[in-house]
Amino acid sequence: MDDTALKAAGIRLETVQASQVSGSIRAPGEVLDSAYGTTLITPRVESLVVRRHAKLGDEVRAGAPLVTLASVQVSDAQADLRVAEQEYRRVSALGPEAVAGRRITEARVALDRARAKAQAYGLPGSASGTVNGQFTLFAPHAGRITEDDFVIGERIEPGKALYRLVNESVVWVDARLAPGTAPRIEPGHDATIVFNGRQLAGKVLRSAHRTSDATRNASVRIEVANRDDILHAGDFVEVILKADSEDAVTNRAASELSVPAGAIVQLQGDSVVFRRDAKGVIEPVPVRTGETLGERTVIREGLKAGDTVVVDGAFKLKAQMLKSQLGEAE
């Protein structure tokens, strides 16, 4: 394509040069439940499910009943606690004039042991109600039930999660960055989360200290106040981060090649840039990209200084190429 044809097609070229690249870092991210606001509701003893008080999707307040269970072991603990309380009250009422001091001490120790056993099962530290072995698990904090994995009458092993209770007022976002970019991001840095046209402010909790073996990306964790309950675990978002400092970005990027982010397209699973050779032929060239700073993306491999690439109209060329390939196949 000559210059006239390129202009008519809305295609603009640019010569790649090493230059300073500055601006915010943009990266994809995934929303996670905050582990600090998530609780698995589990029994501490083998039991049967008797009654459900909450179901999947419910928002519950702190202290709300969630599920009632029954257990033979709990029944024994309730009975032992009641007997120990009655015995301690009896010997205490008689006093040291009628009962030896050792007997009072033994009764007190027996009560403490029975109380500790009951509390280990999640029971109150005092005997109340019947000794039928039924007990109720309560919400330790306000939140939403996001998992509900049991049925009435099911036998539950200790530690099995019945509910997953999540406080969704604060969520985490893991941003995936190129390994060379992650060290610029420090805990406490501001971040902006973009989802469905909405923006939410966040703070970096933790910078990456490990690169994924599978993706070769590094992860930066961000804490976000989930205003209006916009974000939910599993959502994919765009993350905008500020680098360590403008000087750090400028100095590091001074010798790097970059192209406008719109010059890069995906073709057959590769990131490619359309390059024009000395004869005027435009062809796709696979590239390995780095971080996106502002409106430009750093190119790690695939291009060299002086190459001429398409910076506007890359998607049009991709569409024409695919149409041509379909035509040849027919």
Instruction: Please list the pLDDT of the chain residue by residue as tens digits (330 residues).
Output: 667 777 777 888 889 888 766 667 888 899 999 999 999 999 989 999 999 999 999 999 999 999 999 999 888 888 888 898 888 888 888 877 777 888 888 888 998 898 888 888 877 656 566 788 888 899 999 999 999 989 999 999 998 999 999 999 999 999 888 766 766 778 888 899 999 989 999 999 887 666 665 656 778 899 999 988 999 999 999 998 876 544 444 344 446 788 888 899 988 888 999 998 888 888 999 998 877 776 788 888 899 999 999 999 888 888 888 777 666 544
CATH number listed for the domain at residues 43-71+133-166: 2.40.50.100
| Architecture in CATH for domain 25-34+167-242 | Beta Barrel (2.40)
Contact 145, 57 (CB under 8 A): yes
Give every CB contact of residue 175 below 8 A, 6+ residues apart in sequence: 27, 28, 29, 191, 219, 220, 221, 222, 239, 241
CATH number listed for the domain at residues 3-20+251-329: 2.40.420.20
pTM: 0.62
Domain boundaries, the chain: 3-20+251-329, 25-34+167-242, 43-71+133-166, 73-130
Give the three-state DSSP class for 128: coil
Give the three-state DSSP class for 94: helix
